[in-house]
Each structure stands twice: as structure tokens, then as C-alpha cells.
Amino acid sequence: MTVTLLPAPKGALKILKTLKILKAPGALFAGALAGICLFSSCAGMSYSRAGEIPELPQAVPERGMPVITERAVPESPPEQPETPIRPIPAIPFRILGAGLVAPEALSGFLLSVNPGAGENFSAELANFYAEEADIEGVNHDVAFAQMCLETGFLRYGNLVTADMNNFCGLGAIGEEQRGERFDEPRIGVRAHIQHLKAYATEEPPRQDLVDPRYRWVRYGSAPTIYGLAGTWAADREYAEKIKDVLEMLYTFVYTGRLW
């Protein structure tokens, strides 16, 4: 029987080098190599005839352990569709028209600035503005932005208080005349919309008049928010402040940011 010495496995050479056996005298190296061969034979590696490739022993899994036949290749995650970027629309200056922002988004905007406004009340108020303004043909985005400005995003703190349901400062002149009171929020919103419409057009309200100061307006004198400066409010920057709130609103709705 012919015995052919095969090249030592790389792992064996690494072990020999680590133990510095390769630098030892010939007898020590031969003994070490014989030990490796004996270990390989004990592990189940057989050399039957010269030139044949030795058979590797099959791994026997422990009882109860799954047999892994091939390496699992993780699946690539599904491609996520790109979120379309919605351009911010132009700021509406005209008081009459259709609003763009849904009541849910109006409420979310209000709460993002003033979380203390209350989720339920904010949602209710946003619905009132959308419904009442749409009936009268008033842009509810503009009306809602004016409400946010007049009430400090429902924080109040000036002449008008929350219990008055006065969302636009109607009749608030001074300590002796702090403003109009309304029995419920919807009626307060309706009075605001009717008063705002009176500035924008000579067309009368479509619902029963609830605005006690309606008769004091010069009808149709301010078709845009710029006509409210110096008339609705003495502040000459009043229209610019409404515009700033509208910019905040649209930025929040279309980008998710406040500014």
C-alpha cells in the first residue's frame, strides 16, 4: 500500500507556526506532523489509495436540533414608493372663496401651536368654521387664520375670554366694553363669518343674522384681507399678520412643519 502525504491543511500550518514547531529540528517536526495525521485519522479521515481525495466526515446534528442544509439568504425589503412633494399653494388674499384645508388639518394646526386648546374642542371648532364659511361663500382658511390671530390660538389673555364664544374680537373696545357674548361656539363662529362677509361683499347673509354689529360695516369695502387693516382693526399690519398665520397653516399642512 502506498501512502501519499497530502499538503497540510491551512489550519494545521497556522497551529504549527503558532507553536513554533516549524522552526524545531526535523525529528520534532516529523513527530508533530505524525500527530496531526494520527488526529486526522481518528477524526474519521481515511486514505484508501494514492491519489484519491479523502472523504470528509458528515456532521451529525444533536438530537432535537434542525439540520441546516443551506445558508438562508435574507430577502431584500420591498421598495417604498416615494412620497410626492406637494407644493405650498399661494396665500389667498380674497375673503370670498373656497378654503383648501380640511377641518382635520385645521384642528391639527391649532393643536400644534397650542396643545392646551383641547383635541375635542379644536376639532369641533374647525368643523364649525368649515361649515359656516362654506354656507356664506367665505374662504374658511382665511376666517380660521383670523380667529387664530384674534384669540392668540385660543389662548386669549386680552379683553375677550374663552367663555364669551367670541372668536374674532367683535365689539371688544375697552374695559367698559369687552366684546360681544354668544351662547354657544357655533353661533360665535357664525357671527364672525357674517361680519367678515359684510366687509367682502354687499350680498346679505344666507342664514339668520346673529352678528349684532353687522349694521356698522360698510358693505363690500374690503374684498381682500388688506382692506381689514385700519377698519376691522386699527393695526396697520393687521393684514400682514393674517397672511403670516396663513403661511404657517399652509406650511404645516403641506410640509409638516410650522415654519
- DSSP-derived secondary structure letter, 233: B
pLDDT score, position 174: 83
Percentage of the chain exceeding pLDDT 90 = 62
CA 248 to each of CA 42, 54, 178, 253, 258: distance values in angstroms, whole numbers, following the listed order:
80, 77, 29, 9, 5
Grid cell digits, residue 229: 387693516
Does the structure show a pLDDT above 60 at 33?
no
pLDDT score, position 2: 47
Among the four given CATH numbers 3.40.50.720, 3.30.1600.10, 1.10.3720.10, 1.10.530.10, the one describing domain 103-255: 1.10.530.10
Q: In a 10 Å sphere around its CB, with 0-12 CB exposed, 13-18 middle and 19+ buried, how is residue 142 labelled?
A: buried
| Helix 140-151 vs helix 103-113: crossing angle, to nearest 10 | 20
pTM above 0.85, yes or no: no
Cell numbers 488526529 correspond to what residue? Answer: 39
Predicted confidence band of residue 256 (pLDDT cuts 50, 70, 90): confident
Rounded-to-integer distance, Cα 98 and Cα 141, Å: 8
| H or E stretch covering 38 | helix 26-42
Any bridge partners for residue 248, and if so which? none
Does the structure show a pLDDT above 50 at 25?
no
pLDDT score, position 80: 55
CA 253 to each of CA 102, 110, 217: distance values in angstroms, whole numbers, following the listed order:
9, 11, 33
Rounded-to-integer distance, Cα 1 and Cα 11, Å: 28
- DSSP-derived secondary structure letter, 224: B
- Mean pLDDT, the chain, as a whole number? 80
Grid cell digits, residue 216: 356698522
Q: In a 10 Å sphere around its CB, with 0-12 CB exposed, 13-18 middle and 19+ buried, how is residue 157 labelled?
A: exposed
Rounded-to-integer distance, Cα 45 and Cα 36, Å: 11
Higher pLDDT, 18 or 188: 188
- DSSP-derived secondary structure letter, 206: S
Does the structure show a pLDDT above 80 at 150?
yes
What is the sign, positive or negative, of the torsion defined by CA atoms of 202, 207, 211, 213?
positive
The residue ranges of every structural domain in the chain are 10-42, 103-255
- Please tell me the least confidently modeled range out of 28-37, 150-159, 174-183, 228-237: 28-37
Predicted confidence band of residue 113 (pLDDT cuts 50, 70, 90): very high
- Checking 225-233 for CB contacts under 8 A at 24+ apart, the result is 225/93, 225/95, 225/142, 225/146, 226/93, 227/199, 228/199, 231/199, 232/199, 233/169
Q: How many CB atoms lie within 10 A of CB 188?
A: 24
